[in-house]
Chain A
Amino acid sequence: MAGPGTSGGGGGGGWRPLLVPLLMPTWLTIGIFLVLPVALMAVYSFLTKEFRGGVIWDFTLAAYDQFFVDRGLFGDEPPAIEWTYIAIFWRSIWQAGLATLFCLLVGFPTAWFIATRPASQRGVWLFLITIPYWVNLLIRTVSLKFLIRDNGPLNEGLMALGVLDAPVTLVNTNLAVQLGLFYSYLPFMVLPIYAAVERYNFALSEAAADLYASRWVTLREIVIPVVKPGIVAGCILVFVPSLGAFLAPDLLGGAKTFMIGSLIEEQFKGSLGNWPFGAAASMILMTLVLCALMVYARSASQAAGQGAAR
């Protein structure tokens, strides 16, 4: 990194002695607030559960064993694969993936619309997107519940208009959870895509049109590759928090089925009080997310390499 080419050239070298002290606050912040807690979590996931919360400092794989191996209610049946927690993870990934897809389908056109308004109007549109964020997520989620309940405005309105004969039950269903995730995280999709589209050079689209590219081909071959970083950033920003969400499943889903977030929460706050298992579940979740991101980063850098070669 500190090759002769970089240190020898220009006035940039004058900053070099300051680099370490200037970066120190960032390193400290990451160290204290990210690395340390994660390390603590990793250690706790290998400790023994103390009855009713807390840990005993005996190292064991019990938490991971509980996650993956099913020994029956009494713990003396032949070991089999434990599907309970895998199913919870799968359901959460599925819900988060769907939420990401819906956010993309709605967020991309929205971002495109805002970015193609005259510069003087864009501020107002962005402002409108951010307004809901002035209100706490908990309150917005509860409000959504009020809107969609059996005798809420949505159902009553549709019945008054004659669209529905009887109220459609949304509250306490997976559909409501999906709606909650979509609604909560939509702006996280709109804003990065907007930032990418705003920088898009529309002369490229005109050039494509001049060369007889259809609108669809222009979108697929020109626009999406150029704004892809924004799309990817938006997808990550929606997918990752959706995966760990527990407000929407608790309030809109009726807390009937565990999602990853509520499963982990229950280990620390609820009656189950199993810290090592909560830590292990968190570690497994984090590993999954990191792997997915690394696979993406690798394919992205390969794609970038190909693009440069072309």
Chain B
Amino acid sequence: MKRLLTTAAALVLAGPAFAEGELKVYHWFEYIPQELVDKFTAETGITVTIDTYDSNEAMLASLKAGRMGQYDVAVPGDYMVQIMAGEGLLDTFAPADLPNFGNIAPQWLDVPFDPGRQSSIPYQWGSTSFSVNRDVYQGDIGTLAMIFDPPEELKGKINVLDSQGEVLTLASLYMGIPQCNTDREQLKALSDMLVAAKAHWASFGSDTAKDVLVSGDAAAGMIYNGFSAKARAEGANVEYAYPKEGFVVWMDNVVLLKDAPNRDNALAFMNFLLDPENAAAVTNYAAYTAGVTGVAPFLDAAIAESPENNPPADAPAGSFIEVCDAETQKLYDAIWTNLKK
């Protein structure tokens, strides 16, 4: 009992000093190498705690359900940065707060989801389309029909991301209709097309998207480009497609959260991640692409030259997922619920 009290007293006394050396990160699963976290701690003396989530929406729901003030930084995707800023969940900083701010690649500096980069810095970017197991299907895979109107060999062996934004955006691209659409006939057609396609799908799963390809449970699957590269590295004979109808591009960003308990440490962490060597370490781990200049000398050749990271010359431009207004979003929510009922 006495020892317990002593410990408690020590903790209380050490409280303020301890808080100076802490950083609370809310991050995606499997997205930062532990060695890099250790390096940050070794350089700064700041201890890092990481909690993980598996979708942008889950992260937003958790923060809105009362976990603001517990985390310093989070890593939302592009459209989610805009949503979080709109909800007032983000704090701002000045470029001068981050000595490495100038390392941000020019095309990622003035982005529509955070003009002038006031609350966020680039983490990694990549694309979402799909991969096909080449042992199962040898034909041309450069079309989203592989998922939405699949050939005989792939029917019943397709995994689809359990993510409303990505599925509905890819489906819209396949049908050649705009996002955040309010045209009744087109939305009805989109819904009908998805319900018909679902008959050929085996499962919905995001964090399992790689494993089902590696295990052979799925012969084709909607997937992020780096995740597909990892599936290939683990022995699956899969090819990542850049379909002719288009694909989703995304950028994950480190954001400074409002009411961050350790704002200075958060800025130190963001600055650390803008160092080319550190950004490259994340890329080498996650197999996506950094949004920082000067990473090339630190990249593993296998990652830098991977087919997943280097679209063919004739690939179309990718599309970011757009943020719809509440009324329009309701329609897409209804299509998704109807699809999964």
Contacts and interface: CB of A to CB of B under 8 A. Distances in A.
Contact of B216 (A88, A151, A172, A272): A151
B87 interface: yes
Contacts of B163: 271
Interface stretch (A13-21, A48-56, A158-166): A48-56
A205 interface: no
A272 B335 CA distance: 11
Residues of B contacting A: mostly = helix
B57 A273 contact: yes
B44 interface: no
A257 B198 CA distance: 10
B64 A258 contact: no
A149 B217 contact: yes
B203 A172 contact: yes
A74 B340 CA distance: 18
Interface string B184-206: 10011001000000100111110
A172 B187 CA distance: 28
Interface string A135-168: 0000000000000011100000000000000000
Interface in A40-73: 51-54, 73
A255 B55 CA distance: 15
Contacts of B198: 256
A88 B341 contact: yes
Nearest to A169: B156
Contact of A272 (B83, B184, B205, B333): B333
Contacts of A269: 57-58, 61
Contacts of A254: 159, 202-205
B65 interface: yes
A271 B204 CA distance: 14
B247 to A, nearest CB: 20
B217 A150 contact: yes
A171 interface: yes
A170 B14 CA distance: 56
A52 B340 contact: no
A52 B201 CA distance: 28
Nearest to A272: B333
A270 interface: yes
Interface string B318-341: 000000001001110111111011
A53 B203 contact: no
B61 A53 contact: yes
Residues of A contacting B: mostly = loop
A256 B340 contact: yes
B331 A258 contact: no
Nearest to A85: B341
Contact of A255 (B65, B162, B187, B326): B162
Given A73-B187, A84-B341, A172-B203, A53 B64 contact: yes
Contacts of B65: 53-54, 268
B57 A270 contact: yes
B60 interface: yes
Interface residues of A, number: 30
A110 to B, nearest CB: 32
Contacts of B156: 169
Interface string A70-93: 000111000000001101100000
A171 B139 CA distance: 26
B341 A258 contact: yes
Given A84-B338, A257-B340, A271-B163, A73 B331 contact: yes
B153 to A, nearest CB: 15
Nearest to A91: B341
A228 to B, nearest CB: 38
A255 B341 contact: no
Contact of A54 (B64, B203, B217): B64
Report which residue of A149, A172, A272, A273 has the largest number of chain B beta carbons within 10 angstroms of its beta carbon. Answer: A172
Nearest to B203: A254
Report which residue of B57, B60, B83, B331 has the largest number of chain A beta carbons within 10 angstroms of its beta carbon. Answer: B57
B162 A51 contact: no
Contacts of A257: 340-341
A226 B242 CA distance: 67
B201 A150 contact: no
Given A149-B215, A254-B205, A273 B61 contact: yes
B160 to A, nearest CB: 9
Nearest to A269: B58
Interface string B48-64: 00000001011011001
A268 B217 CA distance: 29
A52 B329 CA distance: 10
Interface in B154-212: 156, 159, 162-165, 184, 187-188, 191, 198, 201-205
Interface in B52-96: 55, 57-58, 60-61, 64-65, 83, 87
B203 A73 contact: no
A171 B326 CA distance: 37
8 contacts: A74-B331, A171-B217, A172-B202, A172-B203, A255-B203, A256-B203, A268-B61, A270-B164
Interface of A: 51-54, 73-75, 84-85, 87-88, 149-151, 169, 171-172, 254-258, 266, 268-274
